[in-house]
Structure 1
Amino acid sequence: MELRMNHYEANPAAYKAMLGLEQFIQNSGLDRKLYEWIKLRASQINNCSYCIDMHAKDLLSMGESAEKLLLLTAWHEVPHFTAEERAVIELTEYATKLSEAGVPKEVYDRVRQHFSEKQFIDLIMAINVINAWNRIGVSTGLYPGAVK
């Protein structure tokens, strides 16, 4: 593995813009654990090792079990996730892989059972932010331990 560039140093203004989006989500009222599930699932789909490592560790530090983290890729098959978490994870998958099927109405309806219109947009913004971070990380060759 070789880091292609340190994106923090290469373009501080771009990094600052991303931090602004991150701050928007932090101030939106979105549950922090739900946001971490979004970050971890999108990062798994996008194969961003740096973000997978970071967000798995963040969830562990928030009290989530290693078993639940290990089962995230098979969330459809296990009872470990709440209905709210399942709706958010499913939305994350569809919105991350948008070109495959869009966001089907039934997925939207499941999410709306738990979240208002404003919260739905907050979720979409959260999914957008982690997908943007993933694209930066993967494109620049970022991996766990590459930067401090």
Structure 2
Amino acid sequence: MSTLPPRIDYPDFARQAPAVHSALRAMSKAVDDSGLEKSLTELIKLRASQINGCAFCLQFHLNVLRKLGVEAPRLDLVAAWRDAGVFSARQAAALEWTETLTLMAQRHTDDAAWQALRLHFSESEAMNLTVAIGTINQWNRIAVALRFAPPIAEGSAA
């Protein structure tokens, strides 16, 4: 745990910026309502949060994934998903797209990356996956900047 105190804690953020909080939650709900598998969208949120170093979102999404019954080896190995051998081709494609978008400054989002994603996702699914990745990256930036403390039990954010 960080010895640095939160700049603004999560409940205060939700209270002081209710429209922003609601908008981000609405985007997440829209993706949930799109039909994409919840365990898949939570895995990509976990991976983006690992890349971005967001302790709050890491703990939050681990809590959700555990509640969904995702097996421990998948959770333990998501950071090394390419070599883990426990992810389906669809999950791997989603994780690759997550890394591509999360690391946009280092990776160009070229047509080949999109075409690789589309081998496993319909256009609508790919669009909603892209929204999920954009949304978690926004949550990560807010939570890291404001130093939200990681939730101990299942929370109610990203």
Partner of 2:66: 60
> 1: distance between equivalents of 2:42 and 2:36?
10
Say whether 1:107 aligns with 2:113: yes
Say whether 1:76 aligns with 2:82: yes
RMSD: 1.5
Give 1:22 deviation, angstroms: 1.5
Partner of 2:33: 27
Partner of 2:97: 91
> Where does structure 2 lack aligned partners over 5 or more consecutive residues?
none
- CA deviations 1:24-83 (Å, max 9, x no partner) are 112111110110011100000111101101111211221112222111111111210000
SS in 2 for 1:131: helix
> 2: distance between equivalents of 1:19 and 1:33?
17
Say whether 1:47 aligns with 2:50: no
> Where does structure 1 lack aligned partners over 5 or more consecutive residues?
none
Give 1:103 deviation, angstroms: 2.0
Segments ≥4 residues shifted beyond 6 Å = none
Partner of 1:36: 42
Say whether 1:2 aligns with 2:5: yes
**107-116 vs 127-136, which deviates more?**
107-116
Report the TM-score, using the length of structure 2 for normalisation.
0.87
Alignment length (residue pairs): 147
The one-letter amino acid paired with 1:62 is: L
Say whether 1:141 aligns with 2:144: no
Give 1:20 deviation, angstroms: 1.7
State which of 17, 24, 44 in structure 1 corresponds to 2:23: 17
